[in-house]
Amino acid sequence: MSLIRFAGVDFHYGPAGPSASAILKGFDLEIARGEFYVLLGPSGCGKTTALNLLAGFERPNAGTLIMDGRPIGAPGMDRVVIFQGDDSLYPWLTAQENVEFPLRMTGISAGERRRRAKLWLSRVGLANHGQKFPHQLSGGMKQRIQIARALVCDAPVLLMDEPFGALDAQTRTILQDELVAICSGSGATVLFITHDIAEAIILADRIGVMRAGPGSAIKDEFALDLPRPRNRGSVEFAAAYDRIQRVLGEEVRKVVSREAAA
Amino acid sequence: MSSAGHYLSWLALRVLPFIGLIFLWDAAARAFDVPVLFPTPLATWDKAVQLVGEGQLQSDIAISLWRIGVGFAVGCVLGTVLGLMMGLSRPVADILGPFVHTLRFIGPIAWISAVMIWFGLGETSKIVLIVYTTTFVVLVSAMIGVMTIHPNKLRAARVFGARGWRLFLYVTFPATLPHILSGARLAMMNSFMTIIAAEMVAAREGLGFLIFNSRQWMEVDAIFVGMIALGLLGLMADMLMVLLTGLLFRRFRPLSP
Ligand SMILES: Nc1ncnc2c1ncn2[C@@H]1O[C@H](COP(=O)(O)OP(=O)(O)O)[C@@H](O)[C@H]1O
Ligand SMILES: [Mg+2]
Nearest CB to B156; choose among A74, A79, A83:
A83
Summarize pLDDT for A82-112 with one digit per residue, the tens: 999 999 999 999 999 999 999 999 999 999 9
- DSSP letters for B92-106: HHHHHHHHHHHHTTS
pTM (predicted TM-score): 0.90
A46 ligand 1 Cβ < 6 A: yes
Residues of A in contact with B165 (CB under 8 A): none
**Domain holding B75: CATH number?**
1.10.3720.10
Task: For each of the domains in chain A, give its residue range(s) and CATH number, in order of start.
Answer: 2-27+34-78+158-261 (3.40.50.300), 88-154 (no CATH)
Q: Indicate whether B205 belongs to any domain.
A: yes
Residues B9 and B109 in one domain: no
Q: Indicate whether B50 belongs to any domain.
A: yes
Looking at residue A28, its amino acid is D
pLDDT at B51: 95
Which ligand has the nearest atom to the CA of A39?
A: 1
Residues B15 and B86 in one domain: no
Q: What residues have CB less than 8 Å from A12, skipping those under 6 apart?
A: A20, A21, A22, A23, A61
B169 to chain A, minimum CA–CA distance in Å? 11
Q: How far is the CA of A41 from the centre of ligand 2 (A)?
A: 10
Host domain of residue B7: 1-33
What gap in Å lies between CA A53 and CA A56, rounded to an integer? Answer: 5
B5 to chain A, minimum CA–CA distance in Å? 30
B250 to chain A, minimum CA–CA distance in Å? 9
Q: How far is the CA of A88 from the centre of ligand 2 (A)?
A: 15
Residues B23 and B69 in one domain: no
- Residue B73 reports pLDDT greater than 70: yes
Query: Sheet containing A79-82: which strands, arranged edge to edge?
Result: A79-82, A157-161, A189-193, A36-40, A206-210, A218-223
Which ligand has the nearest atom to the CA of A45?
A: 1
Looking from the CA of B96 toward its CB, the CA atoms found within 13 Å total 20
First-residue to last-residue Cα distance in chain B: 27
Q: How far is the CA of A2 from the centre of ligand 1 (A)?
A: 27
Spell out which chain A residues touch chain B, with contact meaning CB-CB distance below 8 angstroms.
Answer: 55, 57, 74-77, 79-81, 83, 85, 87-88, 90-94, 101-102, 104-106, 133, 135, 153
Q: What is the DSSP letter of A216?
A: B
pLDDT at A178: 86
Q: Indicate whether B257 belongs to any domain.
A: no
Residues B50 and B24 in one domain: no
Q: Total structural domains in chain B?
A: 2
A47 ligand 1 Cβ < 6 A: yes
| Residue in A52, A53, A72, A87 to test binding to B, most B beta-carbons within 10 Å | A87
- Percent of chain B at pLDDT exceeding 90: 81
- Residue B10 reports pLDDT greater than 90: no
Residues B90 and B134 in one domain: yes
Looking at residue B195, its amino acid is I
Inter-chain touch A106–B160, beta carbons under 8 Å: yes
What gap in Å lies between CA A98 and CA A91, rounded to an integer? Answer: 9
What gap in Å lies between CA A129 and CA B213, rounded to an integer? Answer: 61
Mean pLDDT score, B33-40: 90
Nearest CB to B158; choose among A75, A87, A104:
A75
Residues B117 and B9 in one domain: no
Q: How far is the CA of A94 from the centre of ligand 1 (A)?
A: 31
What gap in Å lies between CA A128 and CA B103, rounded to an integer? Answer: 52
Average pLDDT, chain B: 93
What gap in Å lies between CA B253 and CA A135, rounded to an integer? Answer: 10
A43 ligand 1 Cβ < 6 A: yes
Low-confidence residues of chain A: pLDDT under 70: 18-19
Closest residue by Cα to atom 3, ligand 1, is A13
Mean pLDDT score, B220-231: 95
pLDDT at B15: 87
Which ligand has the nearest atom to the CA of A214?
A: 1
Q: Indicate whether B16 belongs to any domain.
A: yes
Residues B119 and B239 in one domain: yes
- Residue B140 reports pLDDT greater than 70: yes
What gap in Å lies between CA A189 and CA A33, rounded to an integer? Answer: 6
Are the CB atoms for A36 and A54 separated by under 8 Å?
A: no
Inter-chain touch B170–A81, beta carbons under 8 Å: no
Q: What residues have CB less than 8 Å from A131, skipping those under 6 apart?
A: A94, A95, A96
Residues B50 and B163 in one domain: yes
Closest residue by Cα to atom 25, ligand 1, is A44
Residues B17 and B73 in one domain: no
Are the CB atoms for B122 and B203 separated by under 8 Å?
A: no
What gap in Å lies between CA B206 and CA B67, rounded to an integer? Answer: 9
B129 to chain A, minimum CA–CA distance in Å? 34
**CA-derived radius of gyration, chain B:** 23
Q: Indicate whether B4 belongs to any domain.
A: yes
Residues B110 and B135 in one domain: yes
Nearest CB to B161; choose among A57, A87, A105:
A105
Nearest CB to B150; choose among A74, A87, A133:
A87
Residues B25 and B45 in one domain: no
For CA atoms A129, A131, A134, A136, the dihedral sign is negative
Residues B156 and B52 in one domain: yes
Are the CB atoms for A252 and A243 separated by under 8 Å?
A: no
Q: Residues of B182-216 as b/e, b for ≥16 C-beta within 10 angstroms? A: bbbbebbebbbebbbbbbbbbbeebbbbbbbbbee
pLDDT at B251: 87
What gap in Å lies between CA A114 and CA B226, rounded to an integer? Answer: 56
DSSP lists the bridge partners of residue B6 as: none
